[in-house]
Chain A
Amino acid sequence: MSPPLVVERSPSGATTTSGPRRERALSWLLLLPSVAVFALFIFWPLGRTLYLSTHGNDIFGAPGAYVGLDHYADMLSASFAGILATTALFTLISVLPAVLGALLVVLLLESRIRGVRVLRTAFALPFAFSVATASVVFAVIYNPAIGIANGLLGAVGVDRVDWLTDPSIALPAVGAATVWMNLGYNVLVLSAGVAAIPQEVVEAARLDGATGWRLATGITIPLLSPQLFFLVVVSTIHALQSFGQIHILTKGGPDDATSTLVYSIYERAFAYGSSDFGAASAQAVVLLLIMLACTAVQFGILERRVHYR
């Protein structure tokens, strides 16, 4: 880095004249690394995505002729509608149970029982798993031939379930794995939220006779609403971007039952010897629009109901 930029005091004491100019230069210097990274790896690529989405490809994936909005028109199909529906459903079934489940766990942990710390750590353990490691473990558990999931069902006399090969079960199965991955994080966030609730508020409520369910609905949950709101926003964004678990567990199958938008982008751009960067980029633009819409909706509707202290 450059030597320290000291705002020198001139004999006349005129820091004000040289100050702002130096300060301006310094602020540009300090912002330069971030701005350079953003320009090169976010803003310019964003323009390129738009460009690619209106162009064809040669057989190596290099951009070809201008095709206008053809790639976008191609998305007006039943199969793409199916991808959007799958994405929405996956988001729903992976976000809600993980947030509500974590809320339940945290509320129970806070009901003045012994061993809270050990229990909380136990519930947080899945957080140690990355998407890849968790998915690999679930791949072994769900294995159609030798997986322990079917082994356990068999032990209690239930017929085997085609966890990842039955189109009506695969999405819930991947969703369950995702809920498991996110639960630990959610528990940690909500626990921190509970810890930040002023003890006197809780004690006052207790003195008023509030216990258990009433304490939770009357005091804890409203005071946790910033954390709950944060979790819903972050989990929704994460769920929309889910990729690793689908790539590892189902590759979008069976019969496209788990083919989400991001997986579809991957498949068109990088899988099965395909390098259809044009069509994939058009889908990437749709992903961007969906994300923007979701963020707007969440901040517009949900934030108004959130109870901030």
Chain B
Amino acid sequence: MRHLRPGRIVVYVVLTLALIPVLFPVYYAFAGSVMGPGDLASYPPALIPSGLHWRNFTDVFTTVPLGRFYLNSAVQAGVITLAQVVTSILAAYAFAFLRMPARAATFALFLATLMVPWETIIIPNYLAISDWGLTRGGLTYLGLVLPFLASAFGTFLLRQAFLQFPTELRDAAVIDGCGHWRLLWRVIVPLSKPSIAAVGVYVFLSAWNQYFWPLILIRDTEYQTLQIGISQLNDAEAAQPGLILAGVALSLLPTLAVVIFGQRYIVRGLTAGALR
């Protein structure tokens, strides 16, 4: 057993002090979700639940269609992820393996899309999507996903991965009559699974967490996403923090599970841009 040196004790103390503000909101989100009005809506508020007020969790489902919000977010983020992964694979293959005219210019065009903040073009997109009637009923799903079906980010990341393959592989495949299409789906994609998963995780999380676009686009509660649903719950039921926090706690479960159990899988996706 290693001896505890004073330096090491300082390290532990500093880390513990830093952990308190980091963990407190997490603790409070869950502790508050089982607090009754007596704990929360009076002054001073309680730090520890005086009892387990599980009613918040049933009440939140009668206050807002939380299950429906979940479904909507899953559809929205799922479609965006699937589409972006596919469009990125296709474009990345073209950039990595195919000889084409004006490749540099096309690539620059892709690069340029990363320079345009979404907020700069959100108004014309809103006007167009509304104009096309994609804010009515089930068409809302289309309106939510259409602008996000492709991304230069995914294309770049996968192009980097595809460039790792030796050019001989490509030449051999073409001459064998294997063809580009089969080379892509039979060889390149299976061998690039980690990078594809990284893109998928990143895209899914950003889509799942979207706020501005669904906020202005969705008209019908039936098609509300989880993020907006929770923030509207906060607006509508400000007097019932327990109910709000129950909604937050429920909406956190999937992402929390990913962070706790799947940390090493997401790190790759998040840092893909950082590790060159």
Contact = CB atoms under 8 A, between A and B. Distances in A.
Interface of A: 3-9, 15, 19-20, 23-24, 26-28, 30-31, 33-38, 40-46, 48-49, 52, 61, 101, 104-105, 108-109, 111, 113, 119-141, 143, 145-148, 151-152, 154-155, 180, 183-185, 188-189, 191-193, 196, 212, 226-227, 230-231, 234, 237, 240-241, 243-244, 247-248, 262, 265-266, 269-270, 277, 280-281, 284-285, 287-288, 291-292, 295, 308
A147 B244 CA distance: 13
B25 A284 contact: no
Interface size class of B (residues with CB under 8 A): 35 or more
Interface string B168-194: 000000110111111000000000000
A192 B22 CA distance: 20
B25 to A, nearest CB: 5
Given A34-B91, A121-B259, A189 B274 contact: yes
A184 B255 CA distance: 13
A145 B43 contact: yes
A248 B231 contact: yes
B124 interface: yes
B119 to A, nearest CB: 5
A26 to B, nearest CB: 6
26 contacts: A7-B174, A23-B99, A26-B180, A27-B94, A33-B91, A37-B87, A41-B147, A42-B121, A43-B113, A101-B18, A113-B8, A122-B19, A124-B263, A126-B26, A129-B252, A131-B209, A131-B227, A133-B252, A136-B231, A137-B248, A146-B241, A192-B274, A230-B274, A262-B212, A287-B119, A308-B276
Given A7-B179, A34-B91, A188 B266 contact: yes
Contact of B124 (A15, A45, A132, A241): A45
B211 A281 contact: no
Sort A-B residue pairs by CB-CB distance and give the 3 closest, nearest first.
A48-B124, A4-B181, A6-B179
B47 interface: yes
A132 B209 contact: yes
B182 A4 contact: yes
Interface in B107-135: 109-110, 113, 115-128
B267 interface: yes
B179 A146 contact: no
Q: Is the interface of A mostly helix, strand, loop or mixed?
A: helix
B255 A129 contact: yes
B36 interface: no
Interface string B252-265: 10011011100100
B231 A27 contact: no
A108 B117 contact: no
Given A6-B181, A280-B123, A288-B120, A180 B21 contact: yes
A101 to B, nearest CB: 7
Contact of A140 (B42, B212, B241, B255): B241
Nearest to A213: B7
Contact of A31 (B19, B106, B241): B106
